[in-house]
Chains A and B, each alone.
Chain A
Amino acid sequence: EVQLVESGGGLVEPGGSLRLSCAASGFTFTDAWMTWVRRAPGKGLEWVGRIKSKTYGETTDFAAPVKGRFSISRDDSKNTLYLQMNSLKIEDTAVYYCTTIRSSWGQGTLVTVSS
């Protein structure tokens, strides 16, 4: 069974940092292009960014609102995806999901940016 389990969310002050993790199982993580999507309170789904597989150079792409502040990495030996979030803003408050896009989604982890 495919599983994606996010962790690392919490309350952080504006300007702070947080790292989210996504533990994957039940599929060949090494071959998967992985994506982070978020949903802010009362809003719709928003693409955050993605990382390609090692075969494709682990290239990353990001949405404009997070470019330069967020980074995505992966540890294929641990089947784990990461989202490093720096210089957090109040508008980054959302539930963050990791997903393969074409199939599975995690349950999400809540990030709250507030003073």
Chain B
Amino acid sequence: DIVMTQTPLSLSVTPGQPASISCKSTQSLLASDGKTYLFWYLQKPGQSPQVLIYDTSNRFSGVPDRFSGSGSGTDFTLKISRVEAEDVGIYYCMQHTHLPVTFGQGTRLEIK
């Protein structure tokens, strides 16, 4: 199974400051069709997960442009250019290039 390792596991950020989460996989996530099926989700307290980024770097509809995803192969990053109070929650990376689909452990973001 592909292991997804997120760092850090927790973040405390002042509003307006940037934040970055790393996600590393144990195998390349490049699929035979040329796409890299790496997703980022945010689960806010008391809510279901919501898609932020799909296929490594595509922002989902309605997601603010302060969120961006990048990376390739085995190394991926989610960046928040200016953290806002509404960004609190747990961030997960997920790959579905290979079965079984696997998630990172989650990164908890809190506001200072």
Contacts and interface: CB of A to CB of B under 8 A. Distances in A.
B49 interface: yes
A35 interface: yes
Interface centre among B41, B43, B48, B94 (most CB of A within 10 A): B48
Nearest to A6: B48
Given A97-B48, A105-B50, A45 B100 contact: no
A36 B41 CA distance: 15
Interface residues of B, number: 22
A45 B48 contact: no
Interface size class of A (residues with CB under 8 A): 20 to 34
Contact of A35 (B48, B60, B101, B105): B101
Interface of B: 1, 39, 41, 43, 48-51, 54, 60, 90, 92, 94, 96, 99-106
Given A47-B101, A61-B100, A103 B60 contact: yes
B49 A45 contact: yes
Nearest to B96: A101
